[in-house]
Structure 1
Amino acid sequence: MPLKSGYDHHANLVDRMADTLGLDLRREMERARLTFQQLDGAVVRCMDCPDPEGCELWMEQRNDGATHAPGICRNKALLENLREYG
């Protein structure tokens, strides 16, 4: 069973949050709007989240997508900036 606090788990959460916001992080990297270092930093910030389970629940409740990340999201500014200028 995967560790729910590890890097891979949080990388998945960042990717799922981006998907929920209509972002494709690979495409953003191809467009040079997101660097690997920024993406790595996003995962590290996510690992510092006080409520990753709440984040998962928030995303599950928004299967049709969302326009904004939840206020608690440590990557809210990064993701919404990518979304706004995409």
Structure 2
Amino acid sequence: MPDQEILKFHAGLVDQMATKLGVDLQQSAIEGDVSIDQLSDAVLRCTGCANPNHCQSFLQQPAQADQTPEYCRNQELLRKLQP
């Protein structure tokens, strides 16, 4: 299992990617659109990504995005949660 710092880093990437797509993960969880287990799984999937540096660059761009990069391992979940 990845160590705590890696998990924190990827949890941040998941949250930032959701925000970039206009998704509020906290609100989605409160409304029951996503479970805590699904969010945990999303972070674990993210730890297996081969492109975290490219992801960080993508997230630093100021414009909102309509979709994740093609390589995003959480593309399906985040698409489902988009408004």
TM-score, normalised to structure 1's length? Answer: 0.88
Identity %: 36
List aligned pairs for 1:54-69, cutoff 5 A. Answer: 54-61=54-61, 63-69=62-68
**Deviation at residue 30 of structure 1 after TM alignment:** 0.5
In structure 2, distance between residues paired with 1:53 and 1:64: 18
List aligned pairs for 1:41-52, cutoff 5 A. Answer: 41-52=41-52
**Deviation at residue 59 of structure 1 after TM alignment:** 1.3
SS at match of 1:46: helix
In structure 2, distance between residues paired with 1:37 and 1:28: 13
- Residue in 1 aligned with 2:38? 38
How many residues were matched structurally?
80
SS at match of 2:69: coil
**Deviation at residue 19 of structure 1 after TM alignment:** 0.5
- Residue in 2 aligned with 1:70? 69
Work out which structure has the larger RCO, using CA pairs closer than 8 Å and 6 or more positions apart in sequence: 2
TM-score, normalised to structure 2's length? Answer: 0.91
**Deviation at residue 27 of structure 1 after TM alignment:** 0.1
What are structure 1's unaligned runs of at least 5 residues? none
What are structure 2's unaligned runs of at least 5 residues? none
In structure 2, distance between residues paired with 1:41 and 1:13: 13
In structure 1, distance between residues paired with 2:75 and 2:69: 7
Runs (4+) of structure 1 exceeding 4 A deviation are none
**Deviation at residue 64 of structure 1 after TM alignment:** 2.2
